[in-house]
Every structure is written in C-alpha cells, then in structure tokens.
Amino acid sequence: MTKNSLLFIGHLWPEPTSSAAGYRTLALLKALSKYWSLHFACAAAQTEYCADLKALDIISHEIKLNDSDFDQLVIDLKPSIVFYDRFISEEQFAPRVQQHSPESINIIDTQDLHFLRRARQKALNTQQEIQLQSDDAIREIAAILRSDLSLIISSYEMQLLIEQFKLSTDLLHYCPFMLSSDKQTVTTDFNERKNFVMIGNFLHPPNWDAVQWCYQFIWPQIRAQLPEAQIHIYGAYTPDKALQLHQPDKGFFIKGRADNALETLAKYRVNLAPLRFGAGIKGKIADGFMVGTPCVTTPIGQEGMADNLPWGGLIAEDSNNGDQIADKAIQLYKDQSLWQQCSKNGHQIIEQKFNENQHAEQLITRIKQLEENLSNQRKNNFYGQILRHNLYRSQYFMSKWIEEKNK
C-alpha cells in the first residue's frame, strides 16, 4: 500500500547531537516515517552534524525562502500533511502551501513557546514583571490558531495556552520528548563519579546566560566548599567568549561539543542547570536522568517535566547571587543517600513522563483522527479561518513581490 506524502519543513536541519530541538525533530521524523512517506525541506545550510535522513528513507529538499520552486515542490508532492517545526516556519511557508495544497493538514511542532521564553528573558534583563501579551505572543498564537494542530511539549505550556489564552484543546496536542527507557544506561554509582557538569547548545540564549551566571556567582561558592571539585561545561557551537571562561586553576573547564551526551553525562555526579529563563522542557536534564545523573536546577528548569512525581535532584530559586543553587549543589554532591534516591526519581520521570512508544502512538492516533475529521475541525475554528485568509492575503503576495524583486 502506497503511503501518503508528509512534508516536514524545518527551520534548521536536525542535529540531534547539537541540541534538544534537533533530537526532538529526529524523534518525530522516526515516528511519522512508519505511516507516511516523509520529505524534509529546509532553507538553512547543512552542517557536518546533520542527521543522516537518507538512512531513514527520508527524502531531503533544499529550498529557498520566497521562491516559486517551493510552490512546485508542494504541487508535485501533494502532501496530505505538512509539518512546521516552529511557528516562524509556518509564517514563511504556510501561505504557499495554502495556495497550492489547501487540503493539506497543517501541524506545528512548537518546540517551546518562544514568546514565553522571550518574555522571561526581557523580564530578567529589565528586572520588571513578566509581560506575556506581546507581539511575539500575537504571532505565535496566531500561527497556532491558523493550524489544524499544534504539538505542545510541556504540560505547563498546555495549561497556559488553555487557561490564560483560552485556546481550544481541539487545536493542541501534548507531546513531550519521546525517550526510550531501553536507552537508560546502567551507570556507575555515587562513589565512582565525581565533579559537576553543564551541557547545552551555546547558541541558545538561556544556556549561555546559565554559564555566565554559574561562572560569576554559583561556581565560586561551590569551589570554596569543595576545593577539589571541577565543573565541565559542554555545548555545541562554543563561541570565543565562552572559551575565555576556561580557567582550570579555578576548576572551571569549557569542554566544547559532547559527541555523545548520554555517555558524557554518565561520568558526573551532579548535573547543574541554573536556568534563569527559558521555556519548554529541558533535554539536558532528561538526558541526565536517563543515565542516573541527578540535577540541581531552578523552577524554570524543572517546569513541565515531572508534574506530581518526585524530582530527580534538587530545585532552588534563582536568586541573583546564586547562593541557593550553590547550597543545593553542594548538598547533593556530598549526600550519598540523597543522591541515590534522586537518581531513582530521575529514572521514574523518564519512564512515566517521556515514554517513547506511548507518546508516538498517541500522536499518530491524533493525526489519524484529524484526517477523518478535518472539515469539521476547520469549520469549528472560525478564527483560524480568518487568520489563514489574512496571512495568505498579506504574506503570500509580499513573498511573491520579494521573489520578483530578487530576480
């Protein structure tokens, strides 16, 4: 039986070893490829770290913004479903999809709520109350309303969209990381581990802020109490400004890219994630849980990950001087009984919250239901019809004008 085509439009090519977003996209592609003939299209440049999509029988397409060649791709494929990996991908390409394949189901993987992350960053920088109603929020929620379904990675963000922004559950599907419990590694125990670790793509602003905060405030306090301890900072795309923080005499090491995050995290006693802003759920923490490495983080770091389950580590408020993070990190580093319980808690969170088979099956079921009920779904989403019409009228013709201008 011939599979229908699914076109997945990525803002970036998936790099599963570089970021949680890359891992997330690849997991989605693997789940979807069992039921649809997959095509992945992206306007960004490929790197040496891109996943081998050909090995997964996924056909790749290099596309351009504001280019009629993309129109032809849509016409040729006639995709039954079009996935967008962020709301900005939907803004850029949905008008052309609507023009040439109006019956295609449109689905956004939000990755995280960008407007929430940016609002928190702005509040931190200005030391003011967080303001969620912004231009970013208008753009992102408009994209969700225009689409037939949006994947929401965090239970907190599901609640936020439903309760504060009054979005219908018909348009939302909870889909966190899909992680295999089979990959949970039997690792070394407390006494065979040492040192602290931080990991995260340096291109992601919350990660770079966390490194700076740790270097300036948190690590000096830990080092004063544990003079033999070291912290090793891993991250893809390490900039020169980060390399300047490499100071072995202070026990602060910038290690660069980790080829295998699980193997790397399994060596350390405590995973530090001192995040002062952000959104979604944190791949760095989930990876640590998979190999038994407990985490000390902030309420932002643990948000949407455990819900009512006991946390796989300790949580501290993000006070400016970082003293609470430092105290909790020292406590977990020294207390073997506490460490062992937190390690077990982390495994439990992975098994109960991020079960790969469970979430993949629920996603496929939801999409199949949408295929059978698309016309009613769109009829009941009148505001989405308005927004689709307006986007098409404005963005599509602007895109065509830019294309002609570029010629």
Cβ 320 vs Cβ 212: under 8 Å: no
Q: Given a cut of 70, is residue 293 above it in pLDDT?
A: yes
Both 68 and 53 in a single domain? yes
According to the model, what pLDDT value does residue 288 have? 95
Residue type, 317: E
Rounded to 10 degrees, the C-alpha dihedral 309/358/286/284 comes to -140
Both 288 and 314 in a single domain? yes
Both 112 and 92 in a single domain? yes
Cβ 57 vs Cβ 389: under 8 Å: no
According to the model, what pLDDT value does residue 180 have? 77
Q: What is the CATH number of the domain that holds 191?
A: 3.40.50.2000
Rounded (5°) CA angle 384-388-390: 115
What number of residues does the chain have? Answer: 407
pTM score: 0.92
Both 158 and 270 in a single domain? no
According to the model, what pLDDT value does residue 407 have? 59
Both 167 and 238 in a single domain? no
Both 268 and 238 in a single domain? yes
Both 271 and 122 in a single domain? no
Both 201 and 172 in a single domain? no
Q: Of the candidates 227, 218, 178, which has an alpha carbon nearest to the alpha carbon of residue 198?
A: 218
Q: Given a cut of 60, is residue 186 above it in pLDDT?
A: no
Both 146 and 32 in a single domain? yes
According to the model, what pLDDT value does residue 182 have? 63
Q: Using a CB cutoff of 8 Å and minimum separation of 24, what contacts does 9-12 make?
A: 9/41, 9/42, 9/63, 9/82, 9/83, 9/84, 9/85, 9/89, 9/93, 10/40, 10/41, 10/42, 10/44, 10/85, 10/89, 11/42, 11/44, 11/85, 11/86, 11/88, 11/89, 12/42, 12/44, 12/85
Cβ 41 vs Cβ 10: under 8 Å: yes
For CA atoms 61, 153, 35, 88, the dihedral sign is negative
- Please state, in angstroms and rounded to a whole number, the distance separating the CA atoms of residues 91 and 314: 39
Ramachandran sector of residue 304 (left: φ over 0; alpha: ψ -120 to 50; beta: rest): left
Output the six-digit token pair for 62: 């290099």
According to the model, what pLDDT value does residue 401 have? 56
Both 156 and 197 in a single domain? no
Both 203 and 172 in a single domain? no
Q: Which domain holds residue 214?
A: 182-353
Q: Residue range 154-165: average pLDDT?
A: 96
φ, ψ of residue 158 in degrees (nearest 5) = -60, -50
What is the count of structural domains for the chain? 2
226 by Cβ neighbours in 10 Å (0-12 / 13-18 / 19+) ranks as middle
Average pLDDT of the chain to the nearest whole number: 92
Both 103 and 126 in a single domain? yes
Residue type, 229: A
* Burial 278-294, CB ≥16 within 10 A → b, else e: bbbbbbbbbbbbbbbbb
Percent of the chain with pLDDT over 90: 86
Of the residues 333, 353, 373, the one at which a domain ends: 353
Residue 247, SS3? strand
According to the model, what pLDDT value does residue 268 have? 96
According to the model, what pLDDT value does residue 317 have? 84
- Please state, in angstroms and rounded to a whole number, the distance separating the CA atoms of residues 176 and 154: 6
Percent of the chain with pLDDT over 70: 94
